[in-house]
Amino acid sequence: MTIVQDTTDVGQPAEAAVTLWRDVWMELSPIIGAAGAAALYERSLFLTIAEYPWLKSVSDSLESGDFNALRRELARQTRADATAANAALLNALAQILGKLIGASLAARLLQPVWEKHGHTTQGSSTRS
């Protein structure tokens, strides 16, 4: 599953991103645990750093789903860069989860979050 487009019209992409990641956290952590959700987030960051090297400084302590470092780094970027980096992070998450549990189940787990935040998805790509 690949995130295609963020259709929300949000004035603050950093705040919107953190809200979305908290919802992802709340959706996944009851199923795979806080450590599992943190591992998926950290792996998503790792895979996205090649394209957005400034994400290296994001080192959130995710014991409670705290995304302050992500908010800080996204807020330092232009709106376009923050939005693109967050989309890349979300794509990485969807791809990782798809490889672990299958694209169909990953899509079903994440669909409520995507719909809540106005994201559209396409296909069941699991490349990364």
Whether residue 8 contacts residue 90, with contact meaning beta carbons closer than 8 Å, is answered with no
Helix (H/G/I), strand (E/B), else coil: 125 = coil
Phi and psi of 67, rounded to 5°? Answer: -120, 35
pLDDT digits (tens, 9 = 90+) for 83-97: 999 999 999 999 999
Helix (H/G/I), strand (E/B), else coil: 53 = helix
Whether residue 13 contacts residue 74, with contact meaning beta carbons closer than 8 Å, is answered with yes
Residue 123's pLDDT band (cuts 50, 70, 90): very low
- The arithmetic mean of pLDDT across residues 106-118, rounded, is 76
Helix (H/G/I), strand (E/B), else coil: 65 = coil
Retrieve residue 66's tokens.
Answer: 């705290």
CA separation (Å) from 27 to 30, 50, 55, 56, 82? 7, 27, 23, 25, 23
Retrieve residue 105's tokens.
Answer: 């189940």
Phi and psi of 12, rounded to 5°? Answer: -125, 95
| Beta carbons within 10 angstroms of residue 112's beta carbon | 11
pLDDT digits (tens, 9 = 90+) for 28-77: 889 888 888 888 999 999 999 999 999 998 876 666 667 888 999 999 99
